[in-house]
Chains A and B, each alone.
Chain A
Amino acid sequence: MTPTAVLHSEWLKIRSIRSIHGSLLAVLATTLGITVLILGTTGQEQAERPGSDVLLNAFFALTFGQIAAIVFGATAVSSEFLNGALRISLAAVPRRSLFYAAKMTAIGGSALVVGLVTSFTSFLVGQLFLGEHAIGLGHPGALRAVLGGGIYLALMALLAAGLAALLRSAVAVLGLLIPLFLIVPFVLVDVATEVVAYLPDRAGQAVLHQNPADGPGPWAGLGVTAVWAAAALLAGWWAIRNRDA
């Protein structure tokens, strides 16, 4: 049994369930759609506003696309926990670390490809609506934000995937991450601004800013998100290795 064979099998798993590869395509569709919607209507107004961050404006829709990336990572793993599907998988691939590594590589790899396509396309298409305010890939920080945005989406998918292996349910993962991203920052913002800047989503989104405010810089912030994702992946690995299937 070669790692390539197991990786191929994991890729077939993603491809063969419509709801899973559908959520992967939704990363692109959502981000692109919302980019067109926002920049096509209020894009020029936004750009004229003093102090507005042209990069953040271009990549604002990525915060919606990340929800689809989280759903993709969570459901790609949680499908193994439906009706004992994991038993079939582990009877075929009993080396659990190999199984887990192949699954996460397939999830992370496909999310990275779709993520990069998403950030490139959204940036280029979005700028078409901005007329004289449009920027190109040569604009300071633009290329960094395009690459970083793709990596950010892949890290979010992996964070969700690792948690799904630990919690064995996509619903539990969404129930944990959505409030963490949408509610906790607003609760914490007054008492612990510094902590908020190091949450997995806030930290990584620094890479999408022209001038990140306080907290970690663009690549350092993405690094913080990577540490979060790595922690989730390790926890999931521990669970897959040690639990009865």
Chain B
Amino acid sequence: MTSIDVHELTKEYGTTRAVDRLSFRVQPGRVTGFLGPNGAGKSTTMRLVLGLDRPTSGSATIGGRSCAQLTEPLRTVGALLDAHAAHGGRTPRSHLAVLAASNGIPGSRVRAVLEETGLGDVGARRIKSFSLGMRQRLGIAAALLGDPRVIMLDEPSNGLDPEGIIWIRELMKRLAREGRTVLVSSHLMNETASFADHLVVLGRGRLLADMPMKQFLDSRSRPRVRLRTTEPARLHASLASKGLTGVPAEDGRWVIDGVTAAEIGALVAGEGIPLLELGDERATLEQAYLDLTAEDTPFAASPARNRQEA
């Protein structure tokens, strides 16, 4: 079993603490979304896991071993950190051939990952002519090169077109189904909600949450019902008798806080109030995330935020 284990990890740059006593484990077999505001320490954590930066204290291991101890590390962990890191003067084929040579990976894998990432036809073109989306695909190809058990991707959907975003989503889900450990950072909430099974959320270098996606959403949601009726006046009277108030929303809908659809359904059925629509409203990942990180965003435009609108 190959998990990523981060234990009491701390990294200081001068007087700034980029990562602050961080502990979490990324399990195989699921996609773990790695969330946090800009500057929360996501990329730093990934570099520490890869042994590129030295921690001030604490440890980060892959399958119980630090990355520097791995022989042929690309066969254990593949990472996309920065799509611009590939030298523009090389071709995708030579970029991957360089990596394959050092880790004893056969040349057939270079062709295989180029095909898999849709770069099969441009393998001999210079990378400097590539769009950001194509560079992302090349970075993902490099991460998959050694057929690793652990995959870390830093903002992989940057610059991808809609087809590319769907492709990367399906790819990550497939990698997790194959039993691999997949850690993906992102700041796109709807994107993350569409692929992550589990979330690790950072704020100012500290761990804010480490839980399954569903639990995270439930823990940050307050019960709320949205409905449509032809007789708002009777509905109001009925709600008032239970100490509830409806707030008008767009399209003639009403929103009621603090109750579930089951409770409202029973109430209006008893009164014989006709309903055209009734449903529980769940927090989106975006709302839940903003609720959690409101105090931990170093570069927020404004401290006050209307969470209803967010």
Contacts and interface: CB of A to CB of B under 8 A. Distances in A.
Contacts of A16: 89-91, 94-95, 97-98
Interface string A5-46: 110110011001111100000000000000000000000000
Contacts of B103: 1, 5, 92
A192 B71 CA distance: 52
Contacts of B70: 94
Contacts of B142: 88
A197 B257 CA distance: 87
A13 B52 contact: no
B85 A92 contact: no
Contacts of B95: 16
A143 interface: no
A12 B72 CA distance: 18
Interface residues on B, range: 20 to 34
A180 to B, nearest CB: 28
Given A1-B102, A5-B102, A94 B94 contact: no
Contacts of A1: 71-72, 102-104
A95 B84 CA distance: 23
A245 B47 contact: yes
Nearest to B104: A5
B257 to A, nearest CB: 47
B101 A94 contact: no
A90 interface: yes
Contacts of A94: 50-51, 67-68, 70, 73
A173 to B, nearest CB: 18
B68 A88 contact: no
Interface string B75-87: 0010101101111
A87 B73 CA distance: 13
Nearest to A94: B68
A84 B102 contact: no
A42 B52 CA distance: 56
B99 interface: yes
B9 to A, nearest CB: 14
Nearest to A8: B101
Interface in A219-245: 244-245
A19 B102 contact: no
Nearest to A80: B87
A82 interface: yes
Contact of B85 (A8, A12, A88, A95): A88
A83 B89 CA distance: 13
Contacts of B52: 87, 90-91, 244-245
A87 B47 contact: yes
A188 interface: no
B102 A9 contact: yes
A13 to B, nearest CB: 5
A207 B53 CA distance: 44
Contacts of A90: 50-52
A17 to B, nearest CB: 4
B111 interface: no
Contacts of B51: 90, 94
B134 to A, nearest CB: 15
A160 B179 CA distance: 47
B74 interface: yes
A79 B72 CA distance: 23
B224 interface: no
Contact of B87 (A79, A87, A92): A79
Interface in B253-300: none
A236 to B, nearest CB: 18
A83 B82 contact: yes
Interface string A84-122: 110110111111000000000000000000000000000
A87 B67 CA distance: 13
B87 A17 contact: yes
Nearest to B101: A9
A162 B95 CA distance: 23
Which 9 residue pairs are nearest across A and B when measured between Cβ atoms?
A: A9-B102, A16-B94, A9-B101, A244-B53, A245-B52, A94-B68, A17-B89, A83-B84, A84-B85
Given A5-B104, A92-B99, 18 more contacts: A1-B72, A9-B102, A12-B94, A16-B89, A16-B90, A83-B82, A84-B81, A84-B85, A87-B50, A87-B82, A87-B85, A88-B99, A88-B142, A90-B50, A90-B51, A91-B67, A95-B68, A244-B54
Interface of A: 1-2, 5-6, 8-9, 12-13, 16-20, 79, 82-85, 87-88, 90-95, 244-245
